[in-house]
Amino acid sequence: MAARGYGATAPASIQAADGVGHGSTTAASDVDVYFSADVETDGPIPGPFSMLSFALVVAGTFDGKTFTRPTNYDEHFYIELRPISEQFQEEALRVNGLDRDRLVSDGTDPQIAMTTASEWIRDHSRGGRPVLVAYPLSFDWTWLYWYFVQFSKHGSPFDHSRCYDVKTAFAVKAGLPISRSGRSRIPDVLRGQHPHTHHAVDDAIEQAELFANLFEWSGR
């Protein structure tokens, strides 16, 4: 299973390195640890369709007073999965560029993938509370929560509700209705510098940068 240009792959294509700062003296168990997530799929919903890849990037910490962004975005996890059904949409595959036929034979078994991801999240939370971050949250959360509950022997590392919707946060701070808070409305000052390529790692890093900028933004 290849990681498509993201360096040497560890077992199950896990890629991780240190790089997040922890500037608070608050007990670790009282700290939220944010994980920016991006998923690539072959359809709109899990079950009838399959998640083909996903990435998680450590996106910062918050102890209720101080938000600390990572010093870099090298702490990431990436994996490609074997499809769980025969259904797929050609349009979805054109967007993400993944070779579904290859993943049928070479993709990681979902039970191994989700259990390993759960353990990686636990290890990189360093005793804090992991929180899933996405824009919009509804899509990525639906896929990851379903897959964690369905396949990971540890269940969901984010429990049933520890999540942060960047779209809602932007709408509130910008004073916009949700219906007018799409990515096209985001001002340049908030946008990340990392390219959006539809590879899960790139998109999760770009989203992590946006999340950190928005967290520190005072609003309109």
In order of start, what are the domains of the chain with their CATH numbers? 11-216 (3.30.420.10)
Partner residues linked to 120 by β-bridges: none
Alpha-carbon radius of gyration of the chain: 17
Catalytic residue (choose from 22, 76, 154, 198): 198
pLDDT digits (tens, 9 = 90+) for 183-208: 888 888 898 777 777 799 999 999 99
Does the structure show a pLDDT above 90 at 220? Answer: no
Cis, peptide link before residue 136, omega less than 30° from 0: yes
pLDDT-based confidence at residue 213 (cuts at 50, 70, 90):
very high
pLDDT digits (tens, 9 = 90+) for 71-127: 999 889 999 999 999 999 999 999 999 999 999 999 999 999 999 999 999 999 999
Active site residue 154: no
Q: Residue 146: enclosing H or E segment and its boundaries?
A: helix 137-151
Given a contact cutoff of 8 angstroms between Cβ atoms, the answer to whether 6 and 78 are in contact is yes
| Model pTM score | 0.85
